[in-house]
Structure 1
């Protein structure tokens, strides 16, 4: 039985009991018919320092063209590096570094952007670094199918075309075979983003130096990850020269987002959240055991190996009331259980002043990762004295929450990449906190 199947079986039997146990290094991992390369199995012992490289290897890009001096848009390296999770334990994280073929035309050394991917899923086959190599990941096994598309490639290549180096993180547990991905865990993601910048700086034979300015880019799950990283930089990674952050559609208040996505096309993300929460805080398992029905446990086990496309096909329109013995929704259970409320309160983004200047973009009709909670995060940062450029994206509302959420990603991506490039080139930006109360 593969690593992922053993974890899924444990989920079904005991509400993800044992999900964090290490996988035997001798056995190749597999997830829904996709063999996970040995690179993604962490060693038994990790380095002492956060951001330290554990291993690297050349990463052939699925979308690459021959160039005179180097392939276009650049050369890629798969990386594994050390980070620290929300429990204070060391964790191995994978990702990739991309050295641009294009020259950097701005002042100073070539800058670096850490790209935090949007929702990819919870199966190891869903990692962005694997998608960069394969473009399209497809698998089938025992009646289970999977498909994963590297949709972040467009943003990565836009940055490379400007001569900006990019390092992307896969997040803890997404790719690495020793644990489940702790989906939308604020600390896990923020640490992974900052440690990716450290790891890129430690790579040999790149044009990045310790003097390189650093920017952060993320939308949706990635928007929350970089927003958290901007809050954590001063205390966790003060040596990272963070200049600017683009945080698009951040899930800053998970209690509100949980209520919003229930019953939508992305309802499967509720399962990823619960799986991750229990792994991060095993005391929540007792709460889950009191409420989850057999069908709920089966759904969590199934979702633990799914990518975002799989979850849309398999769970679109589902309501979490069908997963509980009481018929309550997950949002109702959160309100009824102090331990869950306390856990989600600790996950809230917006209670700490961010470093550098942050561009917060959110679709005014986004009812998936709800607009109101993202705007509140920006307003809270302004109250704390943060430097914030708030950008409400106005698009017509549709009957699809998924379209309402991803429409602003496509519309705003070009302006967001341009804005980040200008900040890294040294051009100033003025905070718009003064006019935020007048904006939708």
Structure 2
């Protein structure tokens, strides 16, 4: 067995085992066959407003979390401005809120799940482990953070994102689609009948990795898109602030397996890029895109991780920056997903570090600088004193998430709910 196979096996085992072991003994997994019909949106989508609940049903959980769970389908807006149905899960805690004021709602943006519908968080929370032989393997690794928030009495809504679980292509790392999904999930949770979630209570955004990109995009857009929400703060962990920098940094790492998600999303949202990508990708690259569209993250690591992207191109040049920057259609499509062009209206906590072996720290620091210049209140937690461990394996990226976001982000959010002055890394104006 090669080192590559050993590292990949360790990563996939950790992806499945660590989050589950950190919670509690499992309950019986929810049966899968009854799920798909819920995820088929009505045609046409009923008239209404973004955040309106289209349908909802109670669901059982694979792990005994301190909450009542409701699977929801809600109305949102896609990048073209059209109505779209998005699914997710609302956790109404059974624990009293332990902080100041009324119970807050956390709109939780998960990290990379994959692009297959079976990877949707609202499906994975109902299973112990999703597994279809030989390699279709996944568990919901964000369960740990969700559980900690629920244990404090905060309500949580987790979006599946657009196209994940529901028909269509999951718009992976598309800033508009992610922001709308996160914001409208909060609206839907507040409008859900029969819950203990205050209809106009305080809202927090939370995200790490892909979720950090989504939470950051939501924080930038909420003031215009949903000014009625009482957003108090956003935690933006390891945000891919620049997709071009992300692609160049992650090439040849475990995240190479997610390049297919990025390109499939681009093709779905920007049809004029299809011609460019079809010409740039060789047969193996096109096969990688096709396979990635139905995979969860663990399978994509096993099948496509640690590959150099030039092996997928006709020119033998890497996808980022060479191929993407070679045509304005793909270049513009990637640039539109960058964060930092709008001023967030509530305080933000950004977590990054040079030991992160998947999402580069320099663009996250630059994002903080841009947000500060726009007048936002931003605190940067930089973990660069921590040395890298087995670079490219997602270990550093995972350590920052597991070891620091719960101990750092939750107390910081508690302070924002208590209306304590938010610290800032912006310096004097």
Would you say same fold, with TM above 0.5?
A: yes
Counterpart position of 1:269: 258
Is residue 105 from structure 1 mapped to residue 104 from structure 2 by the alignment? no
Equivalent residue pairs, number: 393
The 3-state SS of whatever aligns with 1:56 is strand
Counterpart position of 1:422: 415
Which residue of 50, 66, 73 corresponds with 2:66?
73
Is residue 413 from structure 1 mapped to residue 412 from structure 2 by the alignment? no
CA contact (8 A) 2:357 2:388 kept: no
Deviation digits for residues 282-312 of structure 1, max 9, x if unmatched? 1111111211111111111111111111111
Is residue 364 from structure 1 mapped to residue 354 from structure 2 by the alignment? yes
Counterpart position of 1:21: none
Counterpart position of 2:121: 128
Is residue 257 from structure 1 mapped to residue 256 from structure 2 by the alignment? no
**Superposed displacement of residue 248, structure 1:** 0.2
**Superposed displacement of residue 62, structure 1:** 1.0
Counterpart position of 2:300: 311
Separation (CA, whole Å) in 1 of partners of 2:243 and 2:149:
29
**Superposed displacement of residue 314, structure 1:** 1.0
Separation (CA, whole Å) in 2 of partners of 1:80 and 1:322:
40
Is residue 395 from structure 1 mapped to residue 394 from structure 2 by the alignment? no
CA contact (8 A) 1:107 1:426 kept: no
CA contact (8 A) 2:76 2:84 kept: yes
Counterpart position of 2:270: 281
Query: CA 1:101/1:35 → structure 2, altered by over 3 Å: closer, same or farther?
Result: closer
Counterpart position of 1:433: 426
Is residue 58 from structure 1 mapped to residue 23 from structure 2 by the alignment? no
Counterpart position of 2:15: none
Separation (CA, whole Å) in 2 of partners of 1:57 and 1:175:
15
CA contact (8 A) 1:110 1:212 kept: yes
Question: What are the equivalent positions in structure 2 for 1:75-90 lying under 5 Å apart?
Answer: 75-90=68-83
CA contact (8 A) 1:83 1:195 kept: yes
Is residue 44 from structure 1 mapped to residue 43 from structure 2 by the alignment? yes
Counterpart position of 1:404: 396
The 3-state SS of whatever aligns with 1:125 is helix
Separation (CA, whole Å) in 2 of partners of 1:346 and 1:219:
20
Deviation digits for residues 352-382 of structure 1, max 9, x if unmatched? 1012100000122224210001111111100
**Superposed displacement of residue 418, structure 1:** 2.4
CA contact (8 A) 1:271 1:299 kept: yes
Deviation digits for residues 196-240 of structure 1, max 9, x if unmatched? 010001101112223310001100000000000000011111111
Deviation digits for residues 52-95 of structure 1, max 9, x if unmatched? 1111000111111xxxxxxx511010001011011111111111
The 3-state SS of whatever aligns with 1:327 is coil
Separation (CA, whole Å) in 1 of partners of 2:35 and 2:252:
32
* TM-score scaled by length of structure 2: 0.89
Flag structure 1 segments of 5+ consecutive residues without an equivalent: 1-32, 65-71
Q: Kindly report structure 1 stretches of 4+ aligned residues shifted beyond 6 Å.
A: none
* TM-score scaled by length of structure 1: 0.86
